[in-house]
Chains A and B, each alone.
Chain A
């Protein structure tokens, strides 16, 4: 199965800052079938990006995804209060689908 490694594990940042999160796959992800989710404690995870770079419904353009092959990134250009959360990547190019271990973005 494809193992997804997210880095860094935790980031301490201030509102308004820019952040780039990494998701690296152990094998090529077919068709760039990679999604990103944001998860705040006690809330439902929210889909941000699918197909590596397509924003989900209602996601603002300050959130963007890029990458292909084995290296993918999620970038938030200006952190808002709702962005302080845990972010997960998920690949669905190969079975079984797998998730990364998550990156926590916390308030500095």
Chain B
């Protein structure tokens, strides 16, 4: 069984960089693609971005170029960095495994971690 767990600071100051890590157990991250999603309070789930198994990335255009997603195969983890955060980036952030065979849905998720942007 694949398990994912998000970790990182729960509070980030405006204009700083949000950094989260997703630890994956029960399987290697090498052969799969991985994603980050988020849900702001009272709003819908939103796709943030992903890293494909070929190392390439994609991200939600609404986040412009603020998103970086990387894998660390030695630790079986992947990470999210979101720069220049504002209060609008306050959300529960989820990591997930992406099913990418002509499709684009998520078959395993972490429980999520709340990140609040506030001074």
Residues of A within 8 A of B (CB): 33, 35, 37, 42-47, 50-51, 56-57, 88, 90, 92, 96-102
Contacts and interface: CB of A to CB of B under 8 A. Distances in A.
Given A44-B4, A44-B110, A99-B46, 10 more contacts: A35-B105, A37-B106, A44-B109, A47-B109, A50-B107, A88-B45, A90-B106, A92-B104, A96-B61, A97-B47
Given A96-B61, A97-B47, A47 B107 contact: yes
Interface residues of B, number: 20
A92 B44 contact: no
B109 A45 contact: yes
Contacts, number: 52
A92 B110 CA distance: 20
B111 interface: yes
Nearest to A35: B105
A44 B44 contact: no
A50 B99 contact: yes
| List of 9 A-B pairs having minimum Cβ-Cβ separation, nearest first | A92-B104, A99-B45, A35-B105, A44-B109, A45-B109, A44-B111, A47-B107, A99-B44, A50-B105
